[in-house]
Structures are given as structure tokens and as C-alpha cells.
Amino acid sequence: MFMMINMYIVFMILLIFYVNWNVYILFFIILMIIYSSFNLTFFFSNISYMFGVDHISYMLIMLSFFIISLMLLSSNYICSPSFLILNLILSMSLYVIFSILNMFLMYLFFEFSLIPLIILILGWGVQPERLISVLYLFFYTLFASLPLLLIIILFYLNFGCLFFDYHFNYSISFLLHFFMVFAFLVKLPMFMFHYWLPKAHVQAPVSGSMILAGLFLKIGGYGLIRFMFIYEYLFMNYSYIWYSLSMWGSIVVSLICFIQGDIKCLIAYSSVCHMGMCLMGLLTMTYWGLLGSYLMMIGHGLCSSGMFCMANLVYERLLSRSFFINKGMINFMPSLSLIWFILCCFNMSCPPSINFLSELIIMGSMMNYFYWSFIYMIFISFLSACFSIYLFSYCYHGLFHNCYSYSFINVKEYLLLLIHLLPIFLIMLIIDSFFF
């Protein structure tokens, strides 16, 4: 099954030289194949060739192909064969990361996925500052990932096995714990290791921003979940350090959102805030914390990707992402005001979105871990609502520099935004399937 999907993607690379206008339809076909093929009655299903899918990786694989198909749908001006090949390589590496059972191969594709993303930012970014953002992205990832490689080598030398379901010995070494999680904390990103994210988001094209927000941040959470099952006692001993930093950092980053002058920069900092909440849920080491963080990863991947699409639609019309120029959009593009408002509401975790449910579950697990953390959670939720309302009201209200009203958004762009929105609350109808 896994080799079939990988070969499917390889032959798609050959196919795009002949049909380069509807490759996203082929990604939706992959989605249908994955949806109908895996049997998740057991913990792992379809184990073969060091691949396997469980409840945690299943929805992340679906999210990967879903977001990449929307990336191709949004990039209607830059669909050259080289661009499509990069997206296919990215999809294959993400698929391997989320379904591989071997630590070293996961690390290999974890690092390899950085190369097509850097080419995407350098090749299709607009501003010259993209060179600096690529350096930030490269060195943050390289510096954080080398300790993880040393830990994987240590595991192989001591135990002779690198599979995630192997029982590794008991340990209380903080150094082992730090080396194990540092790469994933940077990729998530946690507060204090997040500075590469706004740089990369702002300079990336819309497809790069979508895959960064929708998928690359989820690799960090997925890696933490996998390594948490290996050394549970280490996480129970030392997770309070990262928990405290995330709790304080989410409040600080929420305040930073209010001083941004760039729409994409504000959305990028809001991603740091939400991923901080996701990390707090994971570090409580409870069933509800894991479930809430998992739901938040899926909901944030769809919502944040949709917000970057909307910011790109405004940028294509006005050639600016500045708050001081993008004012009065309700006169300029009135038909998009409702979709933009719904996206901002989902970003602040309003019902009936999956983000609302995940935030409630995370709040309960945080109070179970540390009772007084509900005070911090109230501040985080309040500030999240504030900067989401600030984003909507600053863009869509005010005086626009033209005196007439018109809307020239095409049907394809409405379809793209609605496909982002619908799964966020349709997943609520099948929420019982997530109680794994």
C-alpha cells in the first residue's frame, strides 16, 4: 500500500510534463485511496517495508495531501513543471515522515524536506530578504537537528534497533531528553526558538506559507508524540520546563501580534501562539492533552493555511501586505468579508470549529497538570480573540483610497477558501472517531 502511493507520486512527476494544469485532482485521488484503504481497528495497520499507519499519523497524512492539493490550486500563476515537481517531492517526504516506523529514516526525510522548501522560498519568493529568511530556516533546523542524530546513533549502538515500538531502557538524563526534543521544539516552534518562522513566512510565496503553517509545524508535534511514547518517564520529569516556557511565551507572542504592520507576519505569530498551546497539551502527558493537541494541529493546519490564502488574495490585488494600505477592504472586496470574518473567528477558536473543542480539551488537561495554569489560559484565549478581531477590523474597516466598490474574486478562489473552511467544522460531525 505504502509503496503503491510512493510509486504513484513518482509517476506523477513524469506526468506533469504533459498535464500540468490539474495535478491537484490527482492528489484528491490519493486522498480517496488512503481514506478507503487503511483499517484502523488495530493500533497499527498495513505494516510493511518499515511503514505503518496508526490513529495519530492517519489524519496527518490526509492533511498533507489535502493542503498540498490546495497549494497547487492557489498557485495558479506559478504552476511551472519545476514548481510542481518540488511540491510532489515535498508530498512524498511528508508522507514518509508521517508513516515510517524507523527513527533514522524519519530523521533523514525530516531533514530532506527542508531542501525543496528552501528552493521554493528562493525561487518563487519576491523580496530580496528571502535570502536572510532561508539562512534563518537552515541554521535553526541544522543546529537543532544534529543532537537528535547523535541520540539516534546512540540508540543504535546500545540497543541495535531504531523502531518506535521497541522498549528502550529507563533513563533520567536531562541531556538525553534535551537532545531528543530540541529538534522538534524548534520545528514546532516553541517560544524562544521561533524567530525563523515569521522570517520564512513573510518571504515565502503563498504555497510556501501554506505548507509551513499547515504541515511543517505539525512535524514537530508528531515527533514529540512518537518520542514521548519511548521515554515517558523522561517527559514526566522534565516537561515542566518546556511547559512553563510555552505558557509564558504564548502570552508574550500574543502581545507581539499587536505591533505587527504586516498581515502575514501577524498570522505567523498567531501560529506560534497556537502551537504553544498545542505543546502545553502534549506536555501534560494525559490522554485528553494528547487528543486536544492532535485536534488543534488539524484545525490550525486548515485555518492558518486559509488565512495565508486570504492574505495572498489581498496582496495580488493591492501589491502590499501592510495594514496601513489594506484598509477598507469591505468596500474593495465586499464578497470576501464574510469568509475573512469566519477565518478570524476560527483562528480565535469560536464554535462550531474544531479549534474550539481542542482548546477546551487542552484547558482541562492543563488544569489537571497545574491547576493555576487556567489563569494563563484565560489570558491566552482573550489575547488570541483580541488580535484576531484586530486583524479583521483593521483590514476590512476604515477608509479605502478608492471611492467605488467592486469585487473581482474568481470562482476558483472562492472554491479554494471554502475547501479550507468546510472541514474545520465538518470534522465536528465525526469527532467520535478521534477518541482513539
Q: Is the pLDDT of residue 123 over 80?
A: yes
**What is the per-residue pLDDT for 38?**
66
Reading the block at residue 29, the C-alpha cell is 485521488
Query: 435 versus 229: which is more confidently predicted?
Result: 229
Reading the block at residue 348, the C-alpha cell is 480565535
Average pLDDT score, the chain = 85
Q: Is the pLDDT of residue 20 over 60?
A: no
If one counts the domains in the chain, the total is 2
Question: Averaged over 298-312, what is the pLDDT?
Answer: 91
Residues 320, 400, single domain; the answer is yes
Residues 242, 363, single domain; the answer is yes
Q: Is the pLDDT of residue 304 over 80?
A: yes
Query: Pick from 72, 101, 130: which residue ends a domain?
Result: 101
- pTM across the whole model: 0.91
Residues 43, 118, single domain; the answer is no
**pLDDT band at 149; cut points 50, 70, 90:** very high
Q: Is the pLDDT of residue 263 over 70?
A: yes
Q: Please, where are the H alpha helices in 284-372?
A: 287-318, 329-332, 337-347, 354-369
- In angstroms, the CA 427 to CA 435 distance is 13
Residue from 323, 338, 317, 327 nearest 408 by CA: 317
| Burial of 299: CB neighbours in 10 Å, binned 0-12, 13-18, 19+ | buried
Q: Which residues contact 205 (CB under 8 A, 6 or more apart)?
A: 75, 78, 120, 121, 124, 125, 126
In which domain, by residue range, is 39 found?
1-101
Which range among 75-79, 127-131, 187-191, 213-217 shows the weakest confidence by mean pLDDT?
A: 75-79
Residues 235, 381, single domain; the answer is yes
Residues 418, 275, single domain; the answer is yes
Q: Is the pLDDT of residue 335 over 90?
A: no
Residues 57, 139, single domain; the answer is no
**What is the per-residue pLDDT for 436?**
55
Give the H/E segment covering residue 184.
helix 174-187
**pLDDT band at 108; cut points 50, 70, 90:** very high
- In angstroms, the CA 34 to CA 412 distance is 25
Residues 31, 171, single domain; the answer is no
Query: Pick from 101, 120, 147: which residue ends a domain?
Result: 101
Task: Name the packing angle between helices 2-15 and 23-37 (round to 10°).
Answer: 170
**What is the per-residue pLDDT for 45?**
66
Percent of the chain at pLDDT above 90? 32
Residue from 66, 82, 201 nearest 74 by CA: 66
- In angstroms, the CA 69 to CA 62 distance is 11
Residues 54, 165, single domain; the answer is no
**What is the per-residue pLDDT for 261?**
85
**What is the per-residue pLDDT for 53?**
84
Q: Is the pLDDT of residue 325 over 90?
A: no
* Cβ–Cβ < 8 Å for 318, 325: yes
Residue from 268, 260, 263 nearest 329 by CA: 263
**What is the per-residue pLDDT for 383?**
92
**What is the per-residue pLDDT for 77?**
64
Q: Is the pLDDT of residue 405 over 60?
A: no
**pLDDT band at 267; cut points 50, 70, 90:** very high
Highest mean pLDDT among 1-15, 40-54, 192-206 belongs to: 192-206
Residues 318, 289, single domain; the answer is yes
**pLDDT band at 242; cut points 50, 70, 90:** very high
Query: Pick from 45, 72, 101: which residue ends a domain?
Result: 101
Percent of the chain at pLDDT above 70? 92
Residues 317, 234, single domain; the answer is yes
Residues 97, 138, single domain; the answer is no
**What is the per-residue pLDDT for 17?**
66
- In angstroms, the CA 115 to CA 137 distance is 11
Question: Averaged over 300-313, what is the pLDDT?
Answer: 91
Per the listing, cell 474544531 goes with 354
Residues 77, 136, single domain; the answer is no
- CA distance to 90, 188, 302, 353, per residue, from 420 (Å): 20, 22, 6, 12
